[in-house]
Amino acid sequence: MNDDKIDSILQEKRIFNPPADFAKNANLNAEKLAELDKKYAEDPDKYWGDLAREELVWDKDFHTVLDWKPPFAKWFLGGELNVSVQCLDRHLDTGRRNKAAIIWEGEDGEQITLTYQQLHREVCRFANALELMGIKQGDRVAVYMPMVPEMAIAMLACARIGALHNVIFGGYSAQAIKDRVEGSECKLIITADGGWRRGKIVPLKDTVDEALANGGCPSVEKVIVVRRTAHEITWDKSRDIWWDELIAPQSGKHTPKSFDAEHPLFILYTSGTTGSPKGVIHASAGYALWTKLTSRWVFDLKEDDVYWCTADIGWITGHSYILYGPLQEGATTLMFEGAPNYPEPDRFWDIIERHGVNIFYTAPTAIRAFMKWGEEWPAKHDLSSLRLLGSVGEPINPEAWMWYREHIGHNQCPIVDTWWQTETGGHMISPIPGATPTVPGSATRALPGIEADVVDRDGNSVGDDEGGLLIVRRPWPAMLRTVYGNDARFKAGYFGRFGDKYLAGDGARRDANGNIWIMGRIDDIINVSGHRLGTMEVESALVSHPDVTEAAVVARPDDLKGQAIVAFVTLENDKPGEDLENILKQHVVHEIGAIARPAEIRFTPALPKTRSGKIMRRLLADIAAGRTPGDTTTLEDSKVLDSLKEQMNAKA
Ligand code: ATP
Ligand code: MG
């Protein structure tokens, strides 16, 4: 028996072709897409080399496209550039000087627009300040900030002087800061006094103080603090510096240095959904190239679009698709500090209406929350500016996809379901909105240049509709270069299984039309009587019941079947109706078959999620099996886990 096979039971027949208008004006239509695929197939090195020369501003041309000594890849050898120049300087004499680069809205409603020239000036001033403080090429700088413009400025200034930013999501604890700052020996932390979240102050500076207390983070020499909430904080005169005082005397001119194409651009830790987070390292030129191209291809960015990605910059989605990708394309990127339901559950729709947002990119966890809050909230607003919708972070259940299409996109907007990872740097599998027919729940096809495949345990491609392991056959420019300070983990985790092929860690299948379906994490696969089931299909069957908002299925050891399915379910209205447990079990049987019938359904008001909004099935599996939950450092709300534990104990 092939123990990496995953059985597929879900069938989705709905299909949506790109709207004719959209296809006509698209940056990439079916013809151009086919040309790119053909060019790649003929000569991958030439494909990447030509794109790199066309897209990036090089200070020195490269002599070799790729040096591949698995698992280590080097791209564009001999080339030199500066990534902040790609984002800023290159636009200053192309007619974009006075175009909005960042439109920022604070939770309190405050608004700031920075043109390319203004953003450039602020980045130069901060880069000068950092250099004056002695921050040099290769130094690590931690960024622990609310979503304010200074966060973007700080990151771009690091890139400009060749320091590696290590962004730590502003909701993480002192311990998480310690782990990440000590792990990468940061010299400096950039933070703010606080940030706003649902009308309350998030005391960022206090948390930094806590991380640095009692000799914590000994590598940190200085802490730069942005004034945001202006509440009282403690101050260490020998260590803490106000941002505004620091930049006040600085010149708005800064001559950028050239860095090697492979110079590491940043460190960023993964979400920690499947285990302890990995400190992913990305390199300058390859990352810049791919985030630029995918922004243009997948988001179809046009000169006068207002583009909005709702992620926090603390995640890779924000790095690549709030900052580096859109700015390199000279786009207008919207940045929002707050939560989607503050002051009311229509905050996002209000923002779209007021700013005339054209392209909107969010996560399934948010979409499921919008569904729960009700379609009356988006219905209050004129969303007709929207022309494209995107999804990222988790598999999107087909019913959530349909809801998104209908209630946000008014059946007019293509949806790009983008599969990728912190490690991949940019999109890997996604529809091209003007070219690819979309199917609810499928990320469709690998982008041109990405050789994604679904394979069995021996690395052979599986047949149509068979599930297996998602891999990438050849390196791509934006792939991670290593795990910070841990080449062994990098090698074992991603290349340990198939040598020179990248193992993504997700299960997938490809249907007869060539569309790829992500079936869930390999770690979460459930084995029921010899059938190996991914989590996605069973969960989607549950979510397709009108009473269900979210579902997470996990395995519990079972004497008879090996494993039994336990489903954790949240409901539209929090009270389960009579016999709902049996109704839902029957519903799953009806939708996908008896093999997937959950042995047990647990109703819960909330599911445990990472700070980035992903369901943490491994913790639910621990609870269902009566084990002590593993690593919880990336958990969003420990109360959710506590109440689930109590519930299980009460039952036992
Ligand atoms: P860790 O690696 O620490 O366990 P993580 O994998 O959640 O955390 P990220 O890099 O933030 O860290 O997330 C990447 C993962 O998110 C993918 O491997 C995949 O499981 C999931 N994912 C992202 N986008 C999609 C998508 N469009 N469809 C399905 N799954 C997705
Ligand atoms: Mg991962």
Bridging pattern class, strands 359-362 and 388-391: parallel
The pTM score is: 0.97
Which pLDDT score, from 0 to 100, does residue 13 have?
83
Which residue CA neighbors atom 27 of ligand 1 most closely? 419
**Which of 315, 320, 367, 421 gets mutated to test ligand 1 (max ligand atoms within 8 A of its CB)?**
421
Please name which ligand lies nearest the alpha carbon of 274.
Answer: 1
Query: Is a pLDDT exceeding 90 seen at residue 77?
Result: yes
Query: Is a pLDDT exceeding 70 seen at residue 32?
Result: yes
Structure tokens at 260: 């090697």
Please name which ligand lies nearest the alpha carbon of 272.
Answer: 1
Q: 341 labelled as ligand-binding?
A: yes
| pLDDT, tens only, 606-622 | 999 999 999 999 999 99
Which pLDDT score, from 0 to 100, does residue 228 have?
97
* Measured distance between the N- and C-terminal CA atoms of the chain, rounded to whole angstroms: 36
Query: Is a pLDDT exceeding 60 seen at residue 1?
Result: no
Is 4's C-beta closer than 6 angstroms to any atom of ligand 1? no
Q: What is the mean pLDDT of residues 80-89?
A: 98
Is 390's C-beta closer than 6 angstroms to any atom of ligand 1? no
Q: How far is the CA of 393 from the centre of ligand 1 (A)?
A: 5
Q: What is the mean pLDDT of residues 343-360?
A: 98
Is 279's C-beta closer than 6 angstroms to any atom of ligand 1? no
Helix residue ranges per DSSP H, 528-579: 535-543
% of the chain with per-residue pLDDT over 70: 99
Query: Is a pLDDT exceeding 70 seen at residue 406?
Result: yes
Is 272's C-beta closer than 6 angstroms to any atom of ligand 1? yes
Instruction: Report which ligand 1 atom has the smallest distance to the Cα of 278.
Output: 3
Is 444's C-beta closer than 6 angstroms to any atom of ligand 1? no
Is 544's C-beta closer than 6 angstroms to any atom of ligand 1? no
- AA identity, residue 650: A
Query: Is a pLDDT exceeding 50 seen at residue 394?
Result: yes
| pLDDT, tens only, 557-585 | 999 889 999 999 999 887 888 899 999 99
Which residue CA neighbors atom 14 of ligand 1 most closely? 421
CA distance 496 to 483: 14
Please name which ligand lies nearest the alpha carbon of 420.
Answer: 1
The DSSP string of 80-93 is EE-HHHHHTGGGTT
Query: Is a pLDDT exceeding 80 seen at residue 3?
Result: no
Which pLDDT score, from 0 to 100, does residue 614 have?
96
Query: Is a pLDDT exceeding 60 seen at residue 433?
Result: yes
CA distance 493 to 513: 31
Specify the DSSP class assigned to residue 523.
G
Is 535's C-beta closer than 6 angstroms to any atom of ligand 1? no
Which residue CA neighbors atom 15 of ligand 1 most closely? 421
| pLDDT, tens only, 269-295 | 999 999 999 999 999 999 999 999 999
Instruction: Report the chain's mean pLDDT, rounded to a whole number.
Output: 96
CA distance 372 to 14: 23
Instruction: Report which ligand 1 atom has the smallest distance to the Cα of 521.
Output: 20
| pLDDT, tens only, 33-70 | 999 999 999 999 999 999 999 999 999 999 999 999 99
DSSP SS3 for 562: strand
